[in-house]
Structure 1
Amino acid sequence: MRSPGAVARRVVALYEGDARRPVRGYAVVLGSYAGLVSTLALVARSSGVRLPERVELADVALMGVATHKASRLLTKDAVTSPLRAPVARFEEETGLGEVNESPRGHGVRHAAGELATCPFCLAIWVATGLTAGLVFAPRLTRLVAGMLSAVAASDTLQIGYDAARQWVRK
C-alpha cells in the first residue's frame, strides 16, 4: 500500500502533466483560506455574534463595488507594489497608476504571487473580509466599503472624462 505522500505526489504529477503548476502551493493557500474562514466562524460563535438572517441587496452592491476596488488596488496599483514585491516581479506599467507583475519563485511563493497579482483571485479574500466586517463591525465596514466604492466611482469618472476630452479633440 502506498503512503499518503506517495499518493499525493502521483496525483500532482498526473494533474500537472508536462506543465509545472504549484499545486502544493495552491493547497497551502486554500488551507490558509479555510483556516481563516474557520477561525472567523469560531470567533463569531464563541463571542455570541448573531449572523444576519439575510444580506440586503444594498450591502451586496456596496460590497461588490468595494471588493472590485480593493482587489484591484491590492493587486495592480503601483503604490501597493511593495506589498507584492516578495512574491512578484515587475513587468510593465499599464497606465492609470497600474502595473503588470508576474509571480516569482516556486511552490507556495509562486501560488502567493498568483494570488497577490490577480484581482479575480484576491477578490474572494477581500469579499470574505468585508463579509466578516459586516458581521463583527457593520458600521465601520459600510463606511470603508462606501469609501472604496466612492474611489471606484471616481476612477470611472476620471476615465470617462479623459475619454470625452480625447473625443472632443478629434
Structure 2
Amino acid sequence: MALRQRIARLAQAYAPHEHRPLDGYLVAMGAFGTMAGALAAAARISGRPVPERPGLGDVALVSIATHKLSRLVAKEAVTSPLRAPFTRYTAPAGSAELHEEVRDEGSPVRHSIGELVTCPFCLAVWVSTALTGGLVLAPRLTRLAATALTATAASDFLQMAYCIAKKHAERD
C-alpha cells in the first residue's frame, strides 16, 4: 500500500468526523527538522561556538522577540499578504490584528501551512529556533533584530495600557 494511502487511512481513523491533514503536518515537521538540521550544520561548518548555557539576557530577549514576531506574522494586517494564499480574512480582531480562517480547498500541505501561519503559538517554536540559531551564527545582527522586536512588544503593551487608562479616566 502506498504511503499516501496509509496516511489517509490513519487520518480517517484518527479523526473520523473532521478533516485533519496529517500528511501536511508530516511535511511541516520535516521542514522544521530540515531547518533545525541546517542551523546545526551551519554552526558546525562555521566553527562558531555553541554556548553550553545561554545567558539569561539572551533567553529573555529571544523570548519576547519570539512573542512579537510570531504575532506579527500570524495576526497583524501588514503581514496578511503572506498568509493570503493559505487563509481567508473573516474580521478585524482589534489592536491591528485580524481573524482569518484556514482555506479548506487545496492540498493538505497548504492547509497545514495555513494552520501554522495563523497560530502564533505554533509559529513560536519556528521563530525561537531561528532566533536561537541566529545567536550562534550571527549574534550581533540577531540581538539587534531581537532588540527591535522586543522594544515593539513593550510598546504594544504600553499602547494597550494607555488605552485602558484613558478609558478608565473618561469614566470617572
Do residues 51 (structure 1) and 44 (structure 2) align? no
Q: Tell me whether 1:32 sits opposite 2:26 in the alignment.
A: no
Change (3 A) 1:83 1:7: closer
Summarize deviations over 1:115-154 as a string: whole Å, max 9, x none.
Answer: 0111001111110110011000111111111110100111
Q: Distance in 1 between matches of 2:79 and 2:6?
A: 40
The verdict on how the C-alpha distance between 1:145 and 1:20 changes in structure 2, with shifts beyond 3 A counting, is same
Letter in 1 for 2:133: A
Q: 1:73: which partner in 2?
A: 72
1:67 counterpart SS class: helix
Shift in alpha-carbon separation, 1:21–1:6, aligned structure 2, 3 A: closer
Residue aligned with 2:93, SS? strand
**What runs of 5+ residues in structure 1 fail to find an aligned partner?**
none
Q: Secondary structure at the match of 1:18?
A: coil
- Closer, same or farther: CA 94–43 of 1 in aligned 2, 3 Å: same
Matched residue, 1:138? 139
1:108 equivalent to 2:109? Answer: yes
Aligned residues: 169
Shift of 1:71: 0.4
* One-letter amino acid of the counterpart of residue 162, structure 2: Y
Q: Which whole-Å CA distance do the structure 2 matches of 1:89 and 1:7 have between them?
A: 30
SS class of match (1:81): helix
Change (3 A) 1:84 1:3: closer
SS at match of 2:101: strand
- Aligned equivalents of 2:56, 2:5: Cα separation in 1: 48
Q: Write the letter of the residue equivalent to 2:32.
A: Y
Q: Deviations over 1:94-113 (max 9, x none)?
A: 12111011111340111000
Task: Determine helix, strand or coil for the equivalent of 2:18.
Answer: coil
Letter in 1 for 2:113: A
* 1:2-37 CA distance string (max 9 Å, x none): 565554343222112221111111111111111111
TM-score by length of 1: 0.94
Aligned to 1:169: 170
Partner in structure 2 of residue 125 of structure 1: 126
TM-score by length of 2: 0.93
CA distance in 2, matches of 1:16, 1:159: 40
Query: What corresponds to 1:98 in structure 2?
Result: 97
Letter in 2 for 1:10: R
Is the Cα contact below 8 Å between 2:7 and 2:23 reproduced in 1? no
Q: Which amino acid aligns with 2:82?
A: L
CA RMSD of aligned residues (A): 1.4
